[in-house]
Amino acid sequence: MLIYKICDRALWAQAEAAGELVGAPVDLADGFIHFSSAEQVRETAEKHFAGQDDLLLVAVEADDMGELLRWERSRGGADFPHLYRPLKLSEVAWVRPMPLRADGTHGIDL
């Protein structure tokens, strides 16, 4: 099962240089990297990234993440995947742009 991380291009460039993604400021504050399932990613984009340009969608195979990936209750009582360690770039299945549409929503190609 693929899970998804939305991040801006600058943060992804830092991750590429370091070989791992330690997370966005909200991830660092919360102590884990926030991910979304395929069913959750559009709502996450609308709720937390509306109107933001230059975003990327990062896909990761959840089954390969080990025990430090935990599904925990969050928004609306739904379980969201949280990773309690940096994400190694070698674990990334693919990265795709999330183009900003005129209405402020994002194109999400799963």
Residuewise pLDDT in 10s, the chain (110 residues): 999 999 999 999 999 999 999 999 999 999 999 999 999 999 999 999 999 999 999 999 999 999 999 999 986 889 999 999 999 999 999 999 999 998 888 989 88
Say which amino acid occupies 94: W
Q: Which residues of 18-53 are buried (b: 16+ CB within 10 A; e: fewer)?
A: eebbebbeebeeeebbbbbbeebbeebbeeebeeee
The pLDDT value recorded for residue 100 is: 92
- Sequence-separated (6 or more) residues with CB below 8 Å from residue 8: 24, 52, 54, 55, 56
Q: How many distinct helices (H) and strands (E) make up the chain?
A: 3, 8
Instruction: Please give the Cα distance from 100 to 81 (Å, whole number).
Output: 25
Per-domain residue ranges of the chain: 2-98
Question: At 63, phi and psi to the nearest 5?
Answer: -65, -15
Fold of 2-98: ADP-ribosylation fold (3.20.170)
Q: Which two tokens stand for residue 10?
A: 């600058």
Question: What sign results for the dihedral spanned by CA atoms 7, 81, 86, 62?
Answer: negative
**pTM here?**
0.94
